[in-house]
């Protein structure tokens, strides 16, 4: 039975790709859409459950009056059938109604909604551009995703279980008192108005306080995770005390927000007790007075008193529910700051898969700037022929990395376009574009998973033999065989820690190269791919990379010019423009920036002639 109700909605529906709404109520409506067929039944069972509660209290008063009127001897013989029907409702109808209501609320709604919110929020965030993540704490983003689930689920559950029940019960109480005497219903209506005004006043303040409190919580989480994620830097520079102060500032702010919230809870408790006293005064006392005048019966006085006492108990509960609801709404509003922003880089509505034939790349009038501080590209016109190996050099900030980021569509160019085999990359899907490009960067980070899983990231369908072969070609198999992690896993099963911190820089680089070898994409981008390797290993890896380059269109960025001297062409970038284009030999003969850089590196290495001769040999035609 439980599984039936739990499976009425699929929280991980793969066809659901709607971007999150930007406002709280629109977002809640969007999240409830998969439950649209169940909501009317939830409302109906909730309303009937609340009406039965108030009806039972009213009926208890009637039983008292019937007992008083019939007497002990004649009561059962006179009212036997009515009492049996009442017991039938109490023992069977009411439990079934309440049970169905809980099955819908808890099994169908609550058991799915929390993870649905987290899943959809995570999917949306994961498809944001790289730049989006570079401007925020990873800890803050993850905290907002995780907080949103319980906040939405709790809010919706309380609206159906608590608020709907409470409103229906109050309406039922007013109807019951109207049946007894209208002079009892009017004071209750006035009290309800006063109560609603007080709840609204407190709730609005709580919502603002909760939003600030949630923001402080996300900021504290972001700072703490930032320190943990960069623990080597913290230790290396002995900055533990500074990180203490950095975290302490956010925790003190978090404590202040929590104090403000608790002050409101204290005000709430005082106001609730005061309002409850007023309710007893204005309903029970008039009921007794009407009894003394012979206008109502003892059973009706008992029913009015029971309703009032029940409302006294519910009043504090309702206030707590409303406060929790508005606290959650504050959390949701804060979370939407990260969840709701639209994607900065998106696929065109009619985007097609990239149809790669020869892997020719063309930059046409491409301009892209990052702010007003320089950097980026300025009117780049460039064609890389299919199978051509092109090296890119230039000083820092010349635009080398920007060119690669635009090719990968991490950003869209502000002007111009990029074509691959004549197809504008802005018109094809991002996944199909990146599936055709293998990249090894200088700053390699791995997933906190097994070495096998990290290598398989290149091609998830590869066999174990292909994984091992890729590792061997990247000269990684020798150190993999000797690894063992803290859980006792060995070899390819070893987990590498967050960002691969348990491996050395050179080891991470070789795993990254193995991943690209396994991917075997027709376009290869090497961004300082061997910078973390020692000279002996670098020489071996360079041989592997030369093998991998065969038949591929290659872009190789390097500061160490000897590593790209054997490329088919070398481009020199400076201030976002191509200032030289030719072979290594041609660029040396022309002089200029490339020749200056080559000379400085050769002199710095202390063997100008050896480096020059070596470069000439590698650059000589076969």
Q: How far is 127 from 431, CA to CA, in rounded Å?
A: 10
Amino acid 598: pLDDT: 85
Three-state SS annotation for 368-433: ECCCCCCCCEEEEEEEECCCCEEEEECCCCCCHHHHHHHHCCCCCCCEEEEEECCEEHHHECHHHH
Amino acid 602: pLDDT: 65
Q: How far is 52 from 125, CA to CA, in rounded Å?
A: 45
Domain 16-339 homologous superfamily, CATH: ABC transporter type 1, transmembrane domain (1.20.1560.10)
Q: Is the pTM of this model over 0.75?
A: no
The 10s digit of each residue's pLDDT in 530-552 is: 765 667 667 777 777 887 888 88
- The answer to whether the beta carbons of residues 515 and 457 sit under 8 Å apart is yes
Amino acid 604: pLDDT: 54
In the chain, residues under CATH classification 1.20.1560.10 are 16-339
Amino acid 493: pLDDT: 92
Amino acid 617: pLDDT: 42
Q: How far is 76 from 398, CA to CA, in rounded Å?
A: 98
3-state SS class at 352: strand
Amino acid 522: pLDDT: 92
The 10s digit of each residue's pLDDT in 88-138 is: 888 888 888 888 988 998 889 988 998 899 988 888 888 888 878 877 777
Low-confidence ranges of the chain (pLDDT < 70): 232-233, 236-237, 371-375, 531-534, 536-537, 602-622
Amino acid 603: pLDDT: 57
What is residue 603's DSSP assignment? H
Domain covering 351-436+566-622, topology = Rossmann fold (3.40.50)
Q: Of 295, 327, 320, give the one whose Cα is nearest residue 210.
A: 327
Amino acid 389: pLDDT: 92
Amino acid 523: pLDDT: 93
Sign of the torsion formed by the C-alpha atoms of 137, 139, 142 and 144: negative
Amino acid 611: pLDDT: 45
Q: How far is 474 from 542, CA to CA, in rounded Å?
A: 10
In the chain, residues under CATH classification 3.40.50.300 are 351-436+566-622
What is residue 257's DSSP assignment? H
Q: Which helix (H) or strand (E) holds 273?
A: helix 240-292
Amino acid 220: pLDDT: 83
């Amino acid at each position: 039975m439980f599984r039936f109700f739990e499976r009425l909605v699929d929280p991980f529906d793969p066809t659901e790709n709607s971007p999150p709404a930007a406002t709280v109520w629109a977002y809640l409506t969007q999240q409830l859409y998969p439950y649209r067929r169940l909501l009317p039944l939830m409302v109906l069972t909730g309303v009937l459950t609340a009406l039965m509660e108030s009806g039972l209290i009213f009926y208890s008063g009637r039983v008292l009056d019937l007992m008083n009127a019939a007497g002990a001897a004649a009561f059962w013989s006179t009212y036997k059938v009515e009492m049996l029907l009442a017991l039938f409702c109490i023992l069977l109808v009411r439990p079934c109604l309440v049970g169905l209501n809980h099955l819908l609320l808890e099994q169908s709604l609550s058991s799915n909604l929390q993870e649905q919110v987290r899943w959809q929020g995570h999917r949306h965030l994961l498809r944001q551009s790289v730049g989006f993540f570079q401007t925020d704490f990873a800890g803050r983003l993850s905290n907002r995703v995780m907080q949103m689930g319980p906040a939405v689920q709790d809010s919706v559950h309380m609206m159906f279980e608590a608020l709907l029940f409470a409103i229906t019960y109050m309406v039922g109480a007013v109807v019951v008192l109207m049946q007894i005497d209208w002079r009892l219903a009017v004071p209750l209506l006035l009290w309800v108005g006063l109560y609603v005004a007080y709840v609204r006043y407190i709730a609005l303040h709580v919502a603002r306080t909760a939003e600030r409190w949630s923001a402080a919580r996300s900021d504290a989480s972001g700072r703490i995770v930032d320190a943990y994620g960069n623990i080597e830097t913290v230790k290396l520079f002995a900055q533990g005390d500074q990180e203490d102060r950095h975290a302490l500032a956010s925790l003190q702010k978090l404590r202040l927000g929590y104090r403000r919230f608790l002050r409101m809870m204290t005000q709430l408790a005082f106001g609730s007790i005061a309002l409850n006293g007023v309710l007893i005064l204005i309903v029970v006392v008039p009921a007794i007075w009407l009894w003394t005048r012979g206008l109502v019966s003892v059973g009706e006085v008992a029913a009015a008193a029971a309703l009032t006492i029940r409302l006294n108990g519910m009043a504090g509960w309702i206030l707590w529910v409303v406060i929790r609801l508005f606290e959650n709404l504050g959390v949701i509003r804060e979370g939407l700051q990260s969840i709701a922003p639209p994607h900065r880089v998106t696929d065109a509505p009619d985007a097609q898969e990239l149809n790669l034939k020869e892997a020719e790349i063309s930059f046409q009038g491409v301009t892209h700037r990052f702010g007003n501080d320089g950097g980026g590209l300025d009117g780049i016109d460039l064609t890389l022929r299919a199978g051509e190996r092109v090296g890119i050099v230039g000083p820092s900030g010349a635009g080398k990395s920007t060119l690669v980021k635009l090719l990968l569509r991490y950003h869209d160019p502000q002007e111009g376009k990029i074509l691959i085999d004549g197809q504008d990359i802005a018109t094809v899907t991002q996944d199909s574009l990146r599936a055709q490009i293998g990249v090894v960067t200088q700053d390699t980070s791995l997933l906190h998973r097994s070495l096998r899983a990290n290598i398989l990231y290149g091609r998830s369908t590869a066999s174990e033999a292909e994984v091992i072969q890729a590792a061997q070609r990247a000269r990684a198999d020798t150190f993999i065989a000797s690894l063992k992690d803290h859980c006792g896993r060995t070899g390819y099963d070893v987990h590498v820690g967050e960002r691969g911190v348990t491996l050395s820089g050179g080891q991470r680089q070789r795993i990254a190269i193995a991943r690209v070898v396994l991917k075997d994409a027709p376009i290869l981008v090497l961004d300082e791919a061997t910078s973390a390797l020692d000279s002996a290993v670098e020489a071996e890896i360079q041989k592997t990379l030369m093998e991998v380059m065969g038949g591929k269109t290659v872009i190789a960025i390097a500061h160490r010019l000897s590593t790209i001297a054997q490329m088919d062409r070398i481009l020199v970038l400076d201030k976002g423009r191509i200032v030289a284009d030719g072979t290594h030999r041609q660029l040396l003969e022309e002089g200029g920036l490339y020749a200056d850089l080559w000379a400085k590196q050769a002199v710095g290495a202390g063997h100008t002639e050896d480096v020059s001769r070596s470069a000439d040999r590698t650059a000589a035609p076969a």
